[in-house]
Structure 1
Amino acid sequence: MKEYVTLANALTSGSLVAGFFSVLLIFRGDYYLAAGLIALAAVFDILDGAAARRSENGDEAFGSNLDSLADMVSFGAAPALALYMSSLYVLPVVGVAACLVFFLCGAWRLARFSTCKNRLYFVGCPIPGAGVLVAVLAAVGAPPLFALPVALVLGILMIGTMPFPTLSGLRNREELSEVVEEYRQARNA
């Protein structure tokens, strides 16, 4: 058990705790504070990635699995639930379907992320970004006919193949521009 106690895993656990408490707040109808906790989970997610890259100790598979579970709760389940409860409940069947699509696309995105790593870009929209955007829609009480297509588009972007730059990729713009050009050429072929 000692090998699992690392700074990266503690930060990942912080993300998971923030996601859990955001769900509790969603059930109380406090979408604004729930969105704040989802955003806090995103900060933990950035920090846990940085800590994991700098660390040589600990079980990498454990940390990777814990991170995916935390991401699924904090950026998949919590935002989808918040959007349904705050806005899409007025469209019972379609609203549930849109939130389920977002949630499932997030799961597929995380499964793909676990199998292909690239330091310059993500393949598809990262779930933390999509989850925070959906949480913001819930917090501001976005109209259902606006929130529904946005959630669906974000879901599609998560499972798509469009490159989204990582923080490292943003710092290395020359290499990243080559990646974008390769993507454009592949799309046009």
Structure 2
Amino acid sequence: MRGYEYGIRYYIGVPDLFSIINASLGFLSIIMILEGGMRVACQLMLLAVIFDSVDGWIARRIKRRDEGFGRNVDSLSDIISFGLAPALFIYSTTTFRYINIGVSLLIMTCGILRLSRFNVVANVKKDAFIGLPIPVMAVVVSSLYLSGIFNEHIILIISTIISFMMISSIEYPKINAKNGAIVVILLILTILTGPKLKIFATALLLLVMAYILIPFIIKGLKRDIR
């Protein structure tokens, strides 16, 4: 391999720029958590979800050949925005000492394992996600807070369940472009309205909870048919 091919310009592509923005938003969310700006921190996490969805869409549109580098950049960005940021948010907004530390650590650990497995099986399993996608953690935490339904007992329990579901073998459907556009619009409305119109945050929470339950609903319907 010639010397210039080791340069970062040889590897980086347009989708990676969106992944970096995703990571930057996650970092800024962490800063806001440390500063006590929880509402803004949630809005930044949701904005990171949008950029995370855009990078994959662009990569598919341009038919990127070198998927390895982009997949690693995406995963490293995701662990910041959807692993570390939600974990620190939960630690900072709950008062159950040691329990909140344990749940936060669980989120980080399961997030790392989830993304590592994804990088290994992505080329093998292309029609579905194995385990709950990690952005769901950020969406649930943020929508719970912005909707005003936030409760430290509830968030600790839900976060624990989601963490284990991320490393489970449960298959989750990939969201197509049409449904993805609807989700992005709802995310934008939730970000822009904040606490003024909690209906959008509530709708986002209901939507993501429905997505979490999809495999169980499908399984139940199949049993009824039999």
**Is 1:167 paired with 2:182?**
no
Q: What's 2:76 paired with?
A: 69
**Is 1:110 paired with 2:115?**
yes
**Is 1:155 paired with 2:173?**
no
Q: What's 1:15 paired with?
A: 22
- CA shift, 1:163, in A, is 1.1
Contact 1:125 1:162 in 2 (8 A): yes
Please show how residues 122-161 of structure 1 align to structure 2 within 5 Å.
122-139=129-146, 140=148, 142-161=150-169
Question: Please, what is the CA RMSD of the aligned residues?
Answer: 2.5
Residue type at the aligned position of 1:98 = V
- CA shift, 1:58, in A, is 6.8
- CA shift, 1:8, in A, is 0.3
**78, 103, 111: which one pairs with 2:85?**
78
Q: Counterparts of 2:65 and 2:19 in 1: how far apart (Å)?
A: 13
- CA shift, 1:3, in A, is 2.5
**What are structure 2's unaligned runs of at least 5 residues?**
1-7, 180-214
Distance 1:105 1:127, change over 3 A: same
Contact 1:8 1:51 in 2 (8 A): yes
Percent pairwise identity: 30
Q: Counterparts of 1:141 and 1:6 in 2: how far apart (Å)?
A: 40
Contact 2:12 2:70 in 1 (8 A): no
- CA shift, 1:52, in A, is 1.3
**Is 1:101 paired with 2:106?**
yes
Local SS of the residue matching 1:122: strand
Question: Aligned residues, how many?
Answer: 175
**Is 1:43 paired with 2:50?**
yes
**What are structure 1's unaligned runs of at least 5 residues?**
172-176
Compare relative contact order (CA 8 Å, sep 6+) and give the higher one, 1 or 2.
Answer: 1
Q: Counterparts of 1:170 and 1:152 in 2: how far apart (Å)?
A: 31
- CA shift, 1:138, in A, is 4.7
- CA shift, 1:162, in A, is 1.2
- CA shift, 1:38, in A, is 0.7
TM-score, length of structure 2 as denominator length: 0.70
Q: Counterparts of 1:169 and 1:155 in 2: how far apart (Å)?
A: 26
The more displaced of 69-78 and 131-140 is 131-140
Distance 1:131 1:91, change over 3 A: same
Residue type at the aligned position of 1:160 = S
Local SS of the residue matching 1:91: coil
Q: Counterparts of 1:110 and 1:23 in 2: how far apart (Å)?
A: 20
Q: Counterparts of 2:9 and 2:177 in 1: how far apart (Å)?
A: 34
The more displaced of 68-77 and 24-33 is 24-33
Q: What's 2:35 paired with?
A: 28
Residue type at the aligned position of 2:78 = D
Distance 1:58 1:122, change over 3 A: closer
Q: Counterparts of 1:56 and 1:145 in 2: how far apart (Å)?
A: 44
Q: Counterparts of 1:9 and 1:156 in 2: how far apart (Å)?
A: 28
Q: What's 1:174 paired with?
A: none
Contact 2:91 2:101 in 1 (8 A): yes
Q: Counterparts of 2:120 and 2:165 in 1: how far apart (Å)?
A: 18
After superposition, give the CA deviation of every residue in 1:9-63 in whole Å (9 maximum; x if it has no partner).
Answer: 1111110111011011011111111111111111111110011122345742221
Residue type at the aligned position of 2:38 = Y
Contact 1:124 1:162 in 2 (8 A): yes
